[in-house]
Chain A
Amino acid sequence: MKARNISAVCTVPDGGLSLLLELVAADAAMRLVTLTTEAEGIGIATGCWLGGARAMTAMQSSGVGNSLNALSLPAAFRAPCLLLVTMRGQWGEFNSWQVPMGQAVRPALEAMDVKCFPVERAAEVGETFAAAADLAFMSRVSAAVLVSQRVIGAKGFGRQ
């Protein structure tokens, strides 16, 4: 994020993001913006870009469903939009309530013309994030990095 000059991270937190969000909160040069719903983050990041700063939104996959109409905003302005999504409802999911939205994330994002960058291996997270950030900010399109539960570990609810 810092290498790409991202100065604000908007989020409804997810377990898979917790360490990253702690790092952002601890960094005096970055701003953590806690949201009530993920759609706000897309508006805030668009406003930041219109003012000359770079921001992004980090969310759990269920938040993608909350964000869909908001994705009209960066598309209409031809503004960059960068999403970091930690996935639920796929690899080893315990909670069936996460499955419908989790499975719909990619088709839903692609229906809104968001370029998707799935990540299945931890070693690929950094370079994939950098590539998605460059595509978003330099080509001014919407891009999402989808981090699999295979990378972050399926939530165990005390079973593991």
Chain B
Amino acid sequence: MSAIANRLRRRPLIAELLAQRGTALIVPGLGSPNWDVFAAGDSPDYLYAWGGMGLAVPTALGLALARPERRVLAITGDGEMLMGIGALAVVADQAPANLAILVLDNESFAETGGQRGLTANLADIALAARGFGFTRTMTVSEHGAMPELVRLLFEIPGPALAVAKVAVTKDPWALPEKDGAAIAYRFRRALGLGEG
């Protein structure tokens, strides 16, 4: 396992990225990514999720296919990404130019007590993405790569995937709206969609 003392801090990282998202739609995965995004401020463009582990990337893919004119960013963790790792093959196959994925990799199941995760040893999600057909990937472990990370996630044609090696931190709770119907209603209204 690599030393994690100098790792990126997830909350400032997400806040800085979201400040530069432009009009991108954000799909945070359940657990910590959900709290990180809400802690940086609320927006109808954020599709909060409280369950369905493994589905952040498929949900973001569906959204990206339905709204090709909008950038879509899925923000997930190493645990959720590995649970749904096959979705990277689907994304590569569909090749949406407007979809990017950010994996906050803390090498542990931090939400459930800090149990060791599989990326702590040999598993490399960015390498797996390349194996599935992604050509635009990067792994970030220091703040200096921020401009390149912003370009990958929000500017260059996708699909793109970044792994950010982040520290295990004790961040204060930041809990967004939990009612999925209310989240979906607000999200769709902001896209100009009605009931149906």
Binding site for B on A (CB under 8 A): 8, 31, 33-37, 39-53, 55, 69-70, 72-73, 75-79, 137-138
Interface residues of A, dominant DSSP: helix
Chain B residue nearest to A138 in the complex (CB)? B196
**Given contacts A50-B188, A76-B50, A76-B180, A43 and B66 within 8 Å (CB-CB):** no
A44 touches B193 (CB 8 A): no
A52 touches B67 (CB 8 A): yes
When distances are taken between beta carbons in the complex, the residues of chain B under 8 Å from A52 are 66-67, 188, 191, 193
Task: Tell me, in angstroms, the Cα distance from A8 to B94 when the chains sit together.
Answer: 12
Binary interface encoding of chain B residues 54-80 relative to chain A, with 1 for a CB under 8 A from any of its CBs, else 0:
111111111111110000000000000
Binding site for A on B (CB under 8 A): 27, 47, 49-67, 84, 86-87, 89-90, 93-94, 180-181, 183-184, 187-188, 191, 193, 196
CB distance from A40 to the nearest CB of B (A): 4
When distances are taken between beta carbons in the complex, the residues of chain A under 8 Å from B84 are 39-40
Task: Tell me, in angstroms, the Cα distance from A51 to B190 when the chains sit together.
Answer: 10
B62 touches A45 (CB 8 A): yes
Q: Which of B54, B89, B187, B196 is within 8 Å of A50, CB to CB?
A: B187
Chain A residue nearest to B132 in the complex (CB)? A36
- 19 additional A-B pairs beyond A8-B65, A47-B60, A51-B66, beta carbons within 8 Å, are A35-B86, A36-B87, A37-B86, A40-B55, A40-B84, A40-B87, A43-B52, A43-B54, A44-B61, A47-B62, A47-B64, A47-B65, A51-B64, A69-B51, A70-B55, A73-B51, A73-B55, A76-B50, A78-B180
